[in-house]
Structure 1
Amino acid sequence: MSNPSYQFAQVSGPSIDWRLRRNCSVTPSQLGWFYGSLCALSLGIGLFFWFQGATLVLTFAGLELALVGVAFLAYARHATDGEWISLQGPHLVVELETAGRRERAEFARQWVRVEPKSGDHSLIELSGQGRSVEVGRFVRPELRQALAREIRRALRSA
């Protein structure tokens, strides 16, 4: 049987893997370096005005940096979120990572159902043996049906 091509998956030997990740242009370490340079610049300007007699500038610069730091922290917590779906022989393994917390579900290949959660552009529900997992958060809604078809095709292939 020929090896089918996949749009979202990578085939390596007998296993088929889908790595669905958030599209982040900045890594958490790059964001940390940027925030550090922003702090240095903003505090430098605040100290300059402090010595000129405008004492409130440093207070507002600190408040601004604290708020920007909270926003950057929220971004960095979710920058590595992702979904990993792996078809390994008789098992379909799904791992979800959200804000550093990882969940894992394993299904017997022959019992897995692949369905949209509610409509054509909704998340994809993988279910079987009394468990269900929603995937497709990191795929554009109009491409989720293609991902579901691809997973179904891989489950049916020998």
Structure 2
Amino acid sequence: MVKINSSNEETLFTVTLEPNRSLDWKYSLVFIFIIAITCLSVGFAFYFVGATLILPFAGLEILLVAICVYFVMNQSYQKEVIILSPEKLRIEKGKRKAEQTWEFFRSWSQIRVERPKHPWYPAHILVASKGERIPIGSFLTQEEKNTLVERLREIINQLSS
């Protein structure tokens, strides 16, 4: 998801990039709860019939699903913020707060798109300046990447004039 905000004077632009989230934490917990109820009911049914070894594996299955959902949800809270002003370009990356920050002179920065060698692979968007190459928007869809590149070029042209 690409969100672009500008200041009143339109000299400061903030581009926020986030992956698309299909569920939030609340509904993920509901999903885990439904899986747990189903697995435990089947496990207890087998337990009462005499197959006692099924119950621990049902518990392990619930634990494995919960761990996988946690990792997927944790990755879906990535965030990248690109702040463009007439002088500076600032990139912040993190999950809930900025964990990594880069700051460049905007006039020396370039937005590059590395096309894949094979059509199955996604394109990569890079911000390059002074020998550093910072990938941005790796979690975006191809349409969102195309929109991001177009909008960034429009913003840079607007700030340059």
SS of residue matched to 1:55: coil
1:11 to 2:12 alignment: no
Letter in 2 for 1:64: E
Contact 2:92 2:98 in 1 (8 A): no
1:59 to 2:56 alignment: yes
State the match for 2:109 in structure 1.
Answer: 112
Contact 1:110 1:155 in 2 (8 A): no
Extract unaligned runs of 5+ from structure 2.
none
Alignment partners' CA distance in 2, 1:145 and 1:81: 20
Q: Can you list the C-alpha shifts for 1:56-92, whole angstroms capped at 9, x where unaligned?
A: 2212211211221232122122010132212144221
1:80 to 2:77 alignment: yes
Report how many aligned residue pairs link the two structures. 152
SS of residue matched to 2:63: helix
CA-CA distance at 1:146 after TM superposition? 4.0
1:27 to 2:24 alignment: yes
State the match for 2:33 in structure 1.
Answer: 36
RMSD of Structure 2 on Structure 1 (CA): 2.9
SS of residue matched to 1:63: helix
TM-score (norm 1): 0.77
Alignment partners' CA distance in 1, 2:80 and 2:35: 32
Contact 1:81 1:100 in 2 (8 A): no
State the match for 1:133 in structure 2.
Answer: 134
CA-CA distance at 1:107 after TM superposition? 1.3
Contact 2:47 2:54 in 1 (8 A): yes
Alignment partners' CA distance in 1, 2:16 and 2:94: 11
How high is the sequence identity, in percent, across the aligned residues?
Answer: 24
Extract unaligned runs of 5+ from structure 1.
1-6
Which stretch shows the higher mean deviation, 138-147 or 125-134?
A: 138-147
CA-CA distance at 1:101 after TM superposition? 7.9
CA-CA distance at 1:118 after TM superposition? 4.5
